[in-house]
Amino acid sequence: MKYISKIILLNIIFIIVMSLFRAAFFFYYGRGLDFTGFAPDIIRAFYMGVRFDASVAAISSIPITLAFIVFLFAGNPKYFKKFVSAAKFYYTAVFGLILTLLCVDFGFYSYFQDRLNIMVFGLFEDDTKAILTTIYKNYNVFLILAGFVLLFAFSYFLSKRCLSFPNKAEFSSYSPLSFANNNGVFIKIAAALFLVFSNALIARGSLGSYAIGVNSAVSSNPFLNKTALNPFFTLMKAFDEHKQSGGDFDYILAAGYQDDIRRAFADYLNKDISEIPKEKPEAALSVKIPYDETIESLKPNVILIVMESFGRDLIKYDGENFDVLGELRKHFESDIVFYNFVPAYHSTDGSIESIISNVARTGNLKLSQSKYAYNKYDFSGPVAYKNKGYETVFLYGGNTAWRNIGVYMENLGFDKIFGEKGMNQGYYGNEWGVYDEFLFDYLWKTLESNGNKKFIYAITTTNHPPYSLPKNYEAKPLNPPPDLKQKIIGKDLAEKRFKTYQYANEMLGRFITKIKNSKYANDTIIAVTGDHNFKNVYSYSPQELLTQTEVPFYLYIPDSIKPKNYDASVLGCYLDIMPTLYNISLSDISYTAMGQNLFLPGENKKVYTESNNTAASKNYAVTYYFPAQEASNFYAFSQDNSFKAERTQATQAHKELVKYVKALYAVCGYMIKQTSEK
């Protein structure tokens, strides 16, 4: 049994190494965050982290433990020697992979502000070649690979040092055969049971009702909860989520509305169930827009642009010396901007699907990559415009084969679909698509083509790794103010990010200026938002619950149809984009959508974003990971419209938010799966 002590020592060393990784994660990504009053939680985070790491080590040791037990009862010195040799290579491989996973997770967090999650599958489901090329351009790949080799060398060195025997006598005394020969069968059975129980208990990580898992929170501070995690667990969760992403997951059942879908619609719309039609409950989402003579005669063009990584929070630092808005600034100052606006998801595909589909983002269901991509929905974004005689066009700066997006948009009802391959051959860009200036050039030409009124949905790509720009672009001053500078993680990459963000905004601003100075100024609406927040530069405090996800929603509306009274501080989300556009551009038509017109009073407005699983109203918020039974954290917002979140006790308002999220998932699941034409 003495050999077990060597295995235990090796595992303890690796647990310490994993804890050192956690400490590096905490000090690197925690810079600029305020941990005042969180000292006990920091200790709990590292203690929980040790439990996670010990669990990973125990799971890794299961084959070794089982093999060792076999030797207790049917040992052979010859085979035990081979086992000892194999164990060294086994631990070299396993712990080398774990250390590599820790490094990958460390880099993953710098972009996604989260530990390894379902987004890792984007390497295979996204444009894999473009991703690998981006990594090659942004990082010293050969140095990274050399580092990974050193990790395996380090694992081999420790494994060999801990598990080797200097002489035959020591080998004999440490061998399980010595223990087997000197003890009876009951002692051996007891020893085997002890080994199995100990290994299982440490792997489980808990004596409570539930095994240790990624939802084992230690603090109200989200960063500390993430600090505690081990990427092995978050990767396993990602695999589970990915298995559910095929589209067969029953959201109605999971939300608790089986055989009662009308109740889901009632809860979502905050109506009495008697107001929900029995035969077609989706009719409750239908809205009638009355006849409007001005809109009917004008029939404005509508351009909806989704900018890559167009986060809201960086805009607050915009100024003469840190010019991130460029030409766009004057339009933000003169037109309508909803700043308290949250995206559907933390990736491009989920966001652009949610905006144009008129239904919420449903968990891990990737619509464009599921069987539902081939269905027809009469409530999808372009349909209302097609019904009024508009030409509908989808423009994507990249390859329309990406995530099957071209096929999906065609089935949603777009008349024309253009990607980089269908644009002018003189355009150029990077691995992800043409540079934004060329996309806007093609958008202009699309607007000018034929005399049809148009609804154009355009997606940019430039503000994305590898953050390359046209060589002739001259950047404006980008000197971060002190309060931003102290929060920056990775100065060199941040400088590239700021410059690319500025470029994208400058090109957008020039395009809007061109529209305003043209014949289209009085009959064209321009709407702009981001697919997700600006990432990969700094961390966020727990109080920045919405700030860490928010994107602006900008609107240029000709004066003749521009609403006179509105509240730009209202909470909004992607679901509200199409209903808002319908109500300012269409007349005498009905539409079906899960969102609301932002120009209507919204005292009871609720939003939900899967970017950080937050549901919010004007005064309260919860973090809720569907389909969990309970919310994990409860917040109250400050009353100064800053939406600064403070932890609080659960109230009835928080329970209503959880009910809203469950109803949202159920309604969305119903709309996608039961209201389509195949």
Residue 72 neighbours by CB under 8 Å, 6+ apart: 176, 179, 180, 188, 191, 192
User: In angstroms, rounded to a whole number, what is the distance separating the alpha carbons of residues 475 and 507?
Assistant: 12
* pLDDT exceeds cutoff 70 at 346: yes
* pLDDT exceeds cutoff 90 at 319: yes
Between these two residues, 297 and 493, which has the higher pLDDT value?
297
Predicted confidence (pLDDT) per residue in 371-382, tens digit: 788 788 999 999
**Angle (deg, nearest 10), helices 436-448 and 491-516:** 20
User: In angstroms, rounded to a whole number, what is the distance separating the alpha carbons of residues 202 and 285?
Assistant: 51
Predicted confidence (pLDDT) per residue in 496-513, tens digit: 999 999 999 999 999 999
Q: Which two tokens stand for residue 461?
A: 């790509």
User: In angstroms, rounded to a whole number, what is the distance separating the alpha carbons of residues 394 and 29?
Assistant: 38
Predicted confidence (pLDDT) per residue in 8-53, tens digit: 888 999 999 999 999 999 998 888 787 888 899 899 899 999 999 9
In Å, how far from its chain's centre is CA 646? 23
Of 571, 529, 524, 600, the C-alpha closest to 289 is 600
User: In angstroms, rounded to a whole number, what is the distance separating the alpha carbons of residues 478 and 320?
Assistant: 9
Between these two residues, 366 and 615, which has the higher pLDDT value?
615
Of 339, 330, 290, 287, the C-alpha closest to 310 is 339
In Å, how far from its chain's centre is CA 77? 53
For the chain, domain boundaries: 2-245, 294-604
Overall pTM > 0.85:
no
DSSP string, 581-628: HHHHH--SEEEE-SS--TTS--TT--EEETTTTEEE-SSEEEE--TT-
Average confidence (pLDDT) over 267-276: 96
Of 628, 609, 629, 621, the C-alpha closest to 656 is 621
Query: What are the angstrom distances between the C-alpha of 211 and each of 51, 206, 363?
Result: 11, 5, 24
Percent of the chain with pLDDT over 90: 52
Q: How confident is the model at residue 544 (pLDDT cuts 50, 70, 90)?
A: confident
Alpha carbons within 13 angstroms on the beta-carbon side of residue 88 total: 17
User: In angstroms, rounded to a whole number, what is the distance separating the alpha carbons of residues 69 and 61?
Assistant: 12
User: In angstroms, rounded to a whole number, what is the distance separating the alpha carbons of residues 543 and 220?
Assistant: 10
Question: In whole numbers, what is the pLDDT of the chain averaged over residues?
Answer: 87
Average confidence (pLDDT) over 143-156: 88
Q: Which residues of 138-175 are buried (b: 16+ CB within 10 A; e: fewer)?
A: eeeeeeeeeeeeebbeebbebbeebbebeeeeebeebb
Is the Cα dihedral 644, 647, 649, 654 positive or negative? positive
Residue 132 neighbours by CB under 8 Å, 6+ apart: none
Residue 492 neighbours by CB under 8 Å, 6+ apart: none
* pLDDT exceeds cutoff 60 at 77: yes
What kind of fold does domain 294-604 have according to CATH? Alkaline Phosphatase, subunit A (3.40.720)
User: Hey, how many other C-beta atoms are within 10 angstroms of the C-beta on 444?
Assistant: 16
Return the pLDDT at 501.
96
